[in-house]
Amino acid sequence: MDKIDLNLLYQIADLTDVPQGAYNIRKNGALSGRNNTSHIEIANKDDKTGIDIRIAPGTRGESVHIPVLITQSGLEETVYNDFFIGEGCDVDIIAGCGIHNDGHQRSQHDGIHTFHVGRGSKVRYSEKHYGDGKGTGERIMNPQTIIYLEEGASITLDMVQIRGVDSTKRYTKVVARGAGSEVVVQEKLLTDGKQFAESRMDVILEGEDSKAQVVSRSVGQGESVQVFYPQVEGNGRCFGHVQCDSIIMDSARISSIPAITANSMDAQLIHEAAIGRIAGDQIIKLMTLGLTEEEAEERILEGFLA
């Protein structure tokens, strides 16, 4: 991999080289590298573009990296990845897409990920999106994440998009169908210039004592536009909490439209949403410590999105 590849890999997966353990690296629409372990098998799909990742029951302390790198201007692709996590697992899955576009054509990656999380398993899923390059071509990413949780299963989603993506339409669906299943979604977005970001979430709590916590934090700068539609539906004894916090700057526009639906008297659902500017006293306090106004703003935003 060259310097551009390595920078993208670091931005989306905190890697400085090929990862250890199981991995599948996709570059410019083709397989760049793959490794299986005795407990984790990655194989190409037979009927469409993408891979199947099978994690054996009882697998613990292992990780799977599946980064996507695009450095070819004009490349557009849709990839389908399915994860089958057996019972009693405890694993980390690190995905993400980085686009470096130096050309004038748009580059686009649409990744559709479906998770089947077995009984009693714990999964931590990280998905980072990043774009750079000096070209005028757009960098577009449209991820879809579909999750099915069995009894006692849990998943934590860390979904981050901080810089360089011109347009994104994100869709996340979680069906907590097993008793005692749990999902935590942590979403962080930053847009600038004329960038556009839309995030839709459907969390369906079906299992008895299932739980969901959705926390979305975003910063809108320049003339960018953000729209959020987090929805939680409770169909039995369950608990769900949705929190959306946004900082708006310059001429940006942000819409936050949370919704909760209770189809059972035993469902407890809460939603909160707040949009506001950076408080002036925060900036003044940091400036008294020697920072410029711009440095103070950057420090506040870093802390907000940390």
Predicted confidence (pLDDT) per residue in 28-41, tens digit = 999 999 999 999 99
3-state helix, strand, coil in the chain (%, to 5): 10, 55, 35
- Which pLDDT belongs to residue 20? 87
Report CA Rg, the chain: 20
pLDDT by residue (tens digit) across 67-105? 999 999 999 999 999 999 999 999 999 999 999 999 999
- Which pLDDT belongs to residue 162? 79
214: confidence class by pLDDT, cuts 50, 70, 90: very high
Note whether 139 and 172 are within 8 A (CB): no
- Give domain limits for the chain: 3-279
Q: Name, in order, each residue with C-beta under 8 angstroms of 91's C-beta and a sequence gap of 6 or more.
A: 55, 59, 60, 61, 62, 63, 64, 85, 121, 122, 123, 124
pLDDT by residue (tens digit) across 105-157? 999 999 999 999 999 999 999 999 999 999 999 999 999 999 999 999 999 99
Residue 251 has pLDDT above 90, yes or no: yes
- The model carries a pTM of 0.94
Residue by residue, DSSP assigns 34-63 as EE--SSEEEEE-SSSSEEEEEE-TT-EEEE
- Which pLDDT belongs to residue 289? 87
Residue 199: C-alpha distances to residues 131, 157, 277, 299 (Å) = 18, 14, 21, 25
